[in-house]
Amino acid sequence: MNLDLERINHEWGREPQALIQWALEQETNAICTTNFRPFEAVILHMATRARPDIPVVWMDSGYNTEATYRFADEVTRRLALNLVVYHPRRSRAHREALEGIAPGLEDPRHAAFTEEVKLEPFRRALREMAPRVWLTALRGEDTPERSRMQPVSLGDNGLLKVAPLLHWTAKDMYDYVQRFDLPNNFDYFDPTKVEAKRECGLHLAR
């Protein structure tokens, strides 16, 4: 894919809906990933406005809160999502029966835990679905690493990664949710990140 990323980021980087439309015009094989965290309905609403049947990929670790699962069901129903769920190769009950509860950040087993419940399912999704465009809801204010990213980037594997909301603030997200009367949920916890400003590895350079 031969793209002038500097020009694209300059022209489209602050227009999320237009950027999504542009990205989906580049390749037909596209996915939108979600974790159903707070304000996640924004990217899902935007993506399905541009392409109603776009596959929405969820790496469900099995460790989400009950409220997150209810939120996922509500958003899926409200937006008629084409939801594709990837789970770890063993269930939470299976893992905990052998290794106990999810390890904390100080536990040397935490990296292996993250690999098992999030990173391996994501790589499996990419391998099986073979997308050429990846829409993601990451935002620059989430972590220091993300603040240095660009809305559009091209990975070594040729995957066009598009973060339409990269420059949006929490207020922007809140206003959008209110404008379109979208559901939201703040009872969310990711055991692979633990801390809000920490990366789990999914969005680091690959």
In this prediction, residues 190-199 reach a mean pLDDT of 76
Token pair belonging to 172: 């922007």
- pTM value is 0.91
Asked if 43 and 31 count as a contact pair (C-beta separation under 8 A), the reply is no
pLDDT at residue 124 tops 60: yes
pLDDT at residue 78 tops 70: yes
Token pair belonging to 23: 């990205």
More confident residue, 141 or 143: 141
* pLDDT class of 198 with cuts at 50, 70, 90: low
* pLDDT class of 53 with cuts at 50, 70, 90: very high
CATH class for the region spanning 5-179 = alpha beta
Catalytic (active site) residue 32: no
Average predicted confidence (pLDDT) for the chain: 91
* Measured distance CA(121)–CA(85) in Å, rounded: 9
Among the residues of the chain, which ranges form H helices?
Answer: 5-12, 16-26, 40-50, 66-79, 92-99, 110-114, 120-129, 144-147, 170-179
* Measured distance CA(165)–CA(186) in Å, rounded: 18
| In the chain, domain spans | 5-179
From the list 37, 80, 66, 26, the residue with the least C-alpha distance to 202 is: 37
Of 44, 79, 137, 200, the catalytic one is 200
- The pLDDT assigned to 155 comes to 84
* Of the candidate ranges 13-17, 112-116, 156-160, 193-197, the one whose mean pLDDT is the lowest: 193-197
pLDDT at residue 147 tops 90: no
From the list 159, 163, 160, 137, the residue with the least C-alpha distance to 150 is: 163
* Of the candidate ranges 41-55, 86-100, 141-155, the one whose mean pLDDT is the lowest: 141-155
